[in-house]
Amino acid sequence: MPLVLGGTPLGDSRDASSRLREALGTADVIAAEDTRRLRALAAALEVSPGGRIVSFYEDVENARLPKLLEALHAGETVLLVTDAGMPSVSDPGYRLVSACVDAGLPITCLPGPSAVTTALALSGLPSDRFCFDGFAPRKAGERAKWFAELAAQPRTVVFFESPHRLAATLDDAAKTLGDRRAAVCRELTKTYEEVRRGTLAELAAWAAEGVRGEITVVVEGASPARADVNDLVAEVSSRVSAGERLKAVATEVAQLAGVSKKELYDAVLAARRG
């Protein structure tokens, strides 16, 4: 039988899928990040876990692996759940999944809520391309280096942060990334859900007053660097010399580079006269 990764509600138990309800009642083993929260979720869903429950949080992952792999080899179904969201996404799970892959054991997933994609959808920022970067570094120096590495990233960036470090992190982001748009998503799907949108500087000022709850931050990606028109003249001239029409080439190159077609066309003519 397979290892089953179960996506759990971020806050509202009504978001649990019918497949998760069924798995909670039928799995031979339930590996839970927090057994107390698992039992609370099962009670809210009016499900009685049918199998044995074992804790599976970061500090005990390696110690629990042999027994869980043994259960899977014996044909038992192991359900892995974390406190909220999808296992392995900044939560326990990766080590067990990797071990199952190495052992050739079957793995399946019960899709469910994810704070990453929920925050991205609510942010109002471009969502066609994005990256998730886990938790922001705790130390200021490491955080500054981390943001510097993200400075040229064109994709929307999603990351997690603790509430007591949020203001400092947003301030560091504003200093390194500039006045980009961002969104802070707090307590997603819970009673006090809140989404604050604004520039990084505006959000840093807001967070300085104190913020509580589970936090997901979404930051706009870097704008494409504007090409220097003079650097494009040689490309246009070369294509024209090869037989292409100047206006057609200038239009195409200008659009791709994000520069003015007229400015590029005039620069090519000036270079010819030059």
Of the CA atoms within 13 Å of residue 149, those in its CB half-sphere come to 9
pLDDT tens string for the chain (274 positions)? Answer: 899 999 999 999 999 999 999 999 999 999 999 999 999 999 999 999 989 999 999 999 999 999 999 999 999 999 999 999 999 999 999 999 999 999 999 999 999 999 999 999 999 999 999 999 999 999 999 999 999 999 989 999 999 999 999 999 999 999 999 999 999 999 999 999 999 999 999 999 999 999 999 999 999 999 876 677 888 888 899 898 989 999 998 898 888 777 888 888 888 888 888 6
What is the per-residue pLDDT for 225? 66
Tell me the two tokens of residue 264. 């590029």
Q: Which CATH number fits domain 116-219: 2.30.30.90, 3.30.950.10, 1.20.120.1200, 3.30.499.10?
A: 3.30.950.10
Q: Is 103 helix (H, G, I), strand (E, B) or coil?
A: helix
Residue whose pair of structure tokens reads 């005990």 in the numeric block: 60
What is the per-residue pLDDT for 226? 65
**Residue 147 to residue 172: CA distance in whole angstroms:** 8
**Residue 115 to residue 184: CA distance in whole angstroms:** 12
**Residue 8 near residue 79 (C-beta atoms within 8 A):** no
**Residue 107 to residue 129: CA distance in whole angstroms:** 27
What is the per-residue pLDDT for 234? 87
Q: Check residue 76 and report its DSSP letter.
A: -
**Domain spans in the chain, listed from the N-terminal domain onward:** 3-113, 116-219, 229-273
pTM: 0.80
Tell me the two tokens of residue 65. 């692996």
DSSP assignment string, 187-245: STTSTT-EEEEEEHHHHHHHHTT---S-EEEEEPPPPPPPPPHHHHHHHHHHHHHTT--
Q: Which fold has domain 3-113?
A: Cobalt-precorrin-4 Transmethylase; domain 1 (3.40.1010)
What is the per-residue pLDDT for 201? 97
What is the per-residue pLDDT for 130? 97
Burial track 86-99 (b if 16+ CB lie within 10 A, e otherwise): bbbbbbbbeebbeb
End-to-end CA separation in angstroms for the chain: 76
Residue whose pair of structure tokens reads 């509202």 in the numeric block: 12
Element of type H or E holding 4: strand 3-6
Q: Sign (positive/negative) of CA torsion 60, 139, 87, 11?
A: positive
Phi/psi-derived region of residue 219, left when phi > 0, alpha when psi is between -120 and 50, beta in every other case: beta
Tell me the two tokens of residue 85. 């969201």
Q: Check residue 23 and report its DSSP letter.
A: H
Tell me the two tokens of residue 43. 């009670």
What is the per-residue pLDDT for 58? 93
Residue whose pair of structure tokens reads 């920022």 in the numeric block: 125
What is the per-residue pLDDT for 271? 86
**Residue 189 near residue 12 (C-beta atoms within 8 A):** yes
What is the per-residue pLDDT for 69? 98
